Amino acid sequence: GWNPEPVTGNYNECAQLSAVIVKANTNAANPNTRAVMFHLGKYIPTGVPDTYGFNGIDAAQSTGDTVALSYAGGLGLQSVVRFHWNGNGVELIGNG
């Protein structure tokens, strides 16, 4: 299961796309994390690209319809992948 308390997020019921990061409900040293996406405040249950492993949101690269999710890449460097609401669903628009 997943811990209901978000690690971080930019949830906004007025935004075309927003997200929160949740972590696995475990006592492990490095619990799995994932992003949960919302459209106008409603959870998007299906059709979302893989959002496992993300642990942060890059606010500088996020807009009302785009969420920039970050994860620790190789050598501990933060990498960012952007997700965009295209009017019908969420699409991956690549690394920022």
Tell whether the model's pLDDT for residue 86 goes beyond 80. yes
Kindly state whether residue 20 falls inside one of the protein's structural domains: yes
- For the entire predicted model, the pTM comes to 0.89
Rounded to whole angstroms, how far apart are CA atoms 8 and 27? 18
Kindly state whether residue 17 falls inside one of the protein's structural domains: yes
pLDDT tens track for 13-66: 999 999 999 999 998 888 999 999 999 999 999 888 889 999 999 999 999 999
Per-residue model confidence (pLDDT) at position 11: 97
Reduced to 3 states (helix: H, G, I; strand: E, B; else coil), residue 39 is strand
Please count the structural domains in the chain.
Answer: 1
What does the longest C-alpha to C-alpha distance in the chain come to? Answer: 39
Residue identified by tokens 């106008």 is: 40
By residue range, what is the domain housing residue 73? Answer: 8-95
